[in-house]
Every structure is written in C-alpha cells, then in structure tokens.
Amino acid sequence: MQDSGIRSTPRHTPTVIPRTIWLTGLSGAGKSTLASGLGQQLKEAGYACYVLDGDVLRNGLCRDLGFSAEDRSENIRRVAEVARLMNEAGIIVIAALISPYQADRLMARNIVGTERFIEAYISTPIAVCESRDPKGLYRRAHAGELQGFTGVSAPYEHPENPEVSINTALMPPAHCVAELMRHVLDNVE
C-alpha cells in the first residue's frame, strides 16, 4: 500500500487516572469552598472533573434521606456509586460530604475502588467551625432546634489515616486549594 505521507501530529496526552477525592469534615470546615476551588483549578488545567456536594445532592438524588446513622450511610453509598460511575467515564470526582462515620468512609473507599480513592480530611477544629457558622446551623443545634447535628449532638469520627489532611484555620482558602491541587496532580497522571 502506498504511503499517503500523512502523519498525525504527535501529542502528549496524559493518561489520567480518574480519582475520587473525598472531602470529609465538620459542617463549616470548608469542604464546599475547597471542593469548588479545586474543581475550578482542575478544569482550568484541562481535566474533566465534577463536584458532588452533599449539601446539593440532598436536594435531589438524596432528598428522601435524613441524618440518622442509617440515612447518612445510604447517602454516602449513593454518592460513592455515582463517583465510581463518573470515574469509570474518565471524570475526576470531588465529593464533599461530612461522612462522619469511619465505616461509611471505608464503604465509600471500597465502592469507588481503593486505588482510586483519596481521603482528604478537612480537619478544621469545631471551635472554628462554630465561630464561622455560615448557615447558622450550630446556633440552631445549640438552641435545641436541630437534632442530631454533627459535632454537637451526633458524632464525628476522625479519619485515622487520611491521604491528605488540611486545617483551614491555618491557611487562606487559596493556599488550601493549592495544597489539594498539588496532591491531586501527584496522583492523577
């Protein structure tokens, strides 16, 4: 066969390993802020990514669920299943859920696949979260208007071995996002 002489231009196409970065931490710790900042940076760097925010999903996919231990577990299971599907489609997922129980986070890791799962503990101390109180939920929980509120009247089990740990009380948001971005880039190519 005659050589047409046409050559495709060699391109550097990075082999992206689509990970799920699972942000866990108290309400007000900074999960949503960092998830959206990280999502924006990844998009700007050319990666396909998607933010699954517990707060948002509870208005749709998980709107039938409350905050009992069982419902939180089901919430996390559903989000982890979605994350797995998105990873399989080549999309980097950033999940931001309180996910207060160790067993549920382990379940999420197993559903997504342990090699794909990056647990990022947003370790902001509760005193800082309470002073931020961006939605007034701590005030309502202390006033007895909100039952089973994580950190006040429901437990938060600290991750024992997270891949990343970030205390947002110590650095401005941009630095926290940069720290997460560095970790993700080290792990997606």
Ligand X SMILES: Nc1ncnc2c1ncn2[C@@H]1O[C@H](COP(=O)(O)OS(=O)(=O)O)[C@@H](OP(=O)(O)O)[C@H]1O
> Which active-site residues does the annotation give?
99
30 is in an annotated binding site: yes
User: Taking the CA atoms of the chain, what radius of gyration do you get in angstroms?
Assistant: 19
Helix (H, G, I), strand (E, B) or coil at 1: coil
27 is in an annotated binding site: yes
Residues in the chain: 189
Phi and psi for 142 in degrees, rounded to 5? -70, -30
180 is in an annotated binding site: no
Q: Distance (Å, rounded) from C-alpha 69 to C-alpha 55?
A: 17
Residue 99 interacts, among ligand ADP, ligand X, none and using kind-specific CB cut-offs from 5 to 8 Å, with ligand X
Q: What DSSP line would sit under 173-185, residue for residue?
A: HHHHHHHHHHHHH
Q: Which of 105, 91, 3, 93 is nearest to 51 (CA)?
A: 93
Residue 97 interacts, among ligand ADP, ligand X, none and using kind-specific CB cut-offs from 5 to 8 Å, with ligand X
Residue 168 interacts, among ligand ADP, ligand X, none and using kind-specific CB cut-offs from 5 to 8 Å, with ligand ADP
| Interaction site with ligand X (CB under 6 A) | 27-28, 31-32, 54-55, 58, 67, 72, 75-76, 97-100, 135, 137, 146, 148-150, 154
Q: Minimal CB distance to ligand X: which residue?
A: 54
Binding residues: 25-32
Q: Can you say which residues are annotated as belonging to the binding site for ATP?
A: 25-32
